[in-house]
Structure 1
Amino acid sequence: MKKRILVVVLFILLLFIPFGHVKAFEDAVEIEENSPVFYLFSLEKDAPLNNIKIDFSREKKGNISVFLFDRRPMSSYITPNQTLDDAIYLDSINYTESETPSLNITASEAKIYYLEILIFVNGSDILYVQSTKELSRYYLPNIPGFPFAIIFGTILISISILFLAKKSKLKISMNYIF
C-alpha cells in the first residue's frame, strides 16, 4: 500500500516538473534597424537531415523580414536611402514577414542555405533565433579599396620620381667621368 502511495505521489510531482522544448540552436543578437543579420546552414538530401525549423522573435513590437537564399548573397539588398531593393524578391527562394516569422524548410538536395534577417521599424532591438539545427553567423565580405584612379596615379608618380632620381644620378656620375 505504501508503494502505491509513493508511486502516485511521485507521478503527481512529475506532472509539476516542466519539460522544456529541446532546440538545437538558440541565439540572441542585437540587430540595428535597416542593418541585416546573416546566418547559413546546410541540409542533406536524406531524411532526418533534410529538414529544419527556424523561429524568430524580438523584444519590441514590429515585423521581422526573413529571406532564404540557396546561393550566397553578395549584397545586403539595402539601397542607399535605407529601403529594400526589389531584387531581393527575385534572388531569394522564400521570404516571410511577420512579428514572429517561422520557416520550415525541407531540402530535396544537399546544399548550403543562407538567411538574411531585417527589421525596418522601432530602431535597434534584440533578435531571438531558435532552430532545430545549428546555424552559423555569416558576414558579407566588405573589403574596402581605393578607386582605380588613385592607385594608378600613385604608381605613375612613384615611377616618375624614381626615373628622375636615376636620371639625375646618372648625370652626376657622367660629370665626374668627363
Structure 2
Amino acid sequence: MLKIQEIREMIKLIDQSSIHEFSFEQDGAKIKMKKQSPEVETIIKQAPTVTLEQPVQSQQVAQQTDSNQVQAVSEATNQPVSTEAKTDTENLHKITSPMVGTFYAASSPETEDFVSVGSKVTKESVVCIVEAMKLFNEIEAEVKGEIVEILVQNGQLVEYGQPLFLVKPE
C-alpha cells in the first residue's frame, strides 16, 4: 500500500504535468486521477462570486463620480474594486489543500468545527480534514495567527492547492 506522502507527490506531479488522466495499480490497490477543465473564478469580498467559462482579464477602469472623485471599477463585474481589500489580502497567509478530496470542518457531524472566523491558531492547530480515498487527513494551520475567512463549505470537493482559509499571521 502506498503511503500518504507518496500519493501527495503523485498528485503534485500529475497536477504540474500535461497529463489529463492517470491510473496506477499496485498490490490490489488502485488509484485513478483525472484533471478537470480549468475554471476561472473571480472573487470580490462582500460581493457574489462570478464563475466564468472562458478566462477574462479583469481590468480596472476609472469612472467619474458626482463629487469629482475617481472610483476603480472592474470591467468583468461592473463592481467597485476595493483597494483596501487588496492590500489586506496580500498580508494574509493562505492555508491550501494538499490534495484533492472532500473538505470537512469538523471530525464528525455531531462535533463543533475545528475553527471559525476569529479563531486563534498555532502552527500545529488542526483547522480541517480533507478526505481522500477513504483516508481522513488532518490539515494544520502552518502559521500562528487568526482565521480571517473560511473559503470553502463543509462537504465541498476541493482541488490540490485550492485555498481553504485566510489567516492573519501574528
- When the two structures are superposed, what TM-score results if normalisation uses the length of structure 1? 0.23
Larger Rg: 1
Structure number with the higher strand fraction is 2
Structure number with the higher helix fraction is 1
- When the two structures are superposed, what TM-score results if normalisation uses the length of structure 2? 0.23
